[in-house]
């Protein structure tokens, strides 16, 4: 009778390497009784790592949003006569914009809100805060004087300016444009007149935010200053600034 020896062969398995993240390192340091100075370093490292991961998630969500981003259409018309001069234009309604944007933004973990400030009498500042579910957020500020067009009183002028700024900061935050850019806010003149104070302030702030060469930018539109831009040019100016803002966000 002989003894049979059976050789067992095991199949090689892939070794899975799980990276140790800064939060895991912090937890290990706590368990091993690290001193306060060491813990503070690990906490700082952990927070910076979380911030970077949150920004990556935000950028990825914005990229997905942009791929399916809708083109906004005008759904509100304004028509009034002031000092014997008729002003007529159409623009996107804020409720209409929100109805289109909110479901898609929510799908990608994005949400938005506004903060309103009054930097000085007669002016209002609106900040659109775009936030991702992981915590990273961006702020898009815009400031303008009260809208006194069409015989509005102070309260009406404030409300009109806020509504205008909410729409434009929301569109700028998401990098959206209308099929035909609206020319609202031109109550200081018709479409052939100069841009108004709200539009002027917006253009200046957006040029600064994108670190643009103002003189070079204005040459595109044949203007020597922002004041020299015409209301009829505002749509193209807005389109050009939107492209600059989108480019700036993609390089951050």
pLDDT of residue 121: 84
Cβ-count burial of 157 within 10 angstroms (0-12 exposed, 13-18 middle, 19+ buried)? Answer: buried
Angle of the 94-107 helix axis to the 154-174 helix axis, nearest 10: 30
Handedness of CA 92, 94, 96, 101 (dihedral sign): positive
Q: Which residues contact 204 (CB under 8 A, 6 or more apart)?
A: 226
Cβ contacts of 43 within 8 Å, gap of 6 or more: 26
Instruction: Report the DSSP pairing between strands 85-91 and 123-132.
Output: unpaired
pTM: 0.59
Distance, CA of 193 to CA of 83 (rounded, Å): 15
Each residue of 182-208: b (16+ CB within 10 Å) or e? bbbbbbbeeeeebbbbbbbbbbebbbe
Task: Say what the pLDDT of residue 143 is.
Answer: 87
C-beta separation of 74 from 180 below 8 A: yes
From first CA to last CA, the distance across the chain in angstroms is: 78
Under 8 Å between Cβ of 185 and 199: yes
Mean pLDDT by 10 residues, the chain (252 residues): 51 61 78 80 83 92 86 54 50 78 94 93 91 95 81 83 90 74 43 71 87 91 88 86 83 66
Burial of 79 (0-12, 13-18, 19+ CB in 10 A): exposed
Which pLDDT belongs to residue 70? 72
Looking at residue 185, what is its pLDDT? Answer: 46
Residues in CB range of 130: below 8 A, 6 or more apart: 110, 111, 112, 137, 138, 139, 140, 173, 174
């Amino acid at each position: 009778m002989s003894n049979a020896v059976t050789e067992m062969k095991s199949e090689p398995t892939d070794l899975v390497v799980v990276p140790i993240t800064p939060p895991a390192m912090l937890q290990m340091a706590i368990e091993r009784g690290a001193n306060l100075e060491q813990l503070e370093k690990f906490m700082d490292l952990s927070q910076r790592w979380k911030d970077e991961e949150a920004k990556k998630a935000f950028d990825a969500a914005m990229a997905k949003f942009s791929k399916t981003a809708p083109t906004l259409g005008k759904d509100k018309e304004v028509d009034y006569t002031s000092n014997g001069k008729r002003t007529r234009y159409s623009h996107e309604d804020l409720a209409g914009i929100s109805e289109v944007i909110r479901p898609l933004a929510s799908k990608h973990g994005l949400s938005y809100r506004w903060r309103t400030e009054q930097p000085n009498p007669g002016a209002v500042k609106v900040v659109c805060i775009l936030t991702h579910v992981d915590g990273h957020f961006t702020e898009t500020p815009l400031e303008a004087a009260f809208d006194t067009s069409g015989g509005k009183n102070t309260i009406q002028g404030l409300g009109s300016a806020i509504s205008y700024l909410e729409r434009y900061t929301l569109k700028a935050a998401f990098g959206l444009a209308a099929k035909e850019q609206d020319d609202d806010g031109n109550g200081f003149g018709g479409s052939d007149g100069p841009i108004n104070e709200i539009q002027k302030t917006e253009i200046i702030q957006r040029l600064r935010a994108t670190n643009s060469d103002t003189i070079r930018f204005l040459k595109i539109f044949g203007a020597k200053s922002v004041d020299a831009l015409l209301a009829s040019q505002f749509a193209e100016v807005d389109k050009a600034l939107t492209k600059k803002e989108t480019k700036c966000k993609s390089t951050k």
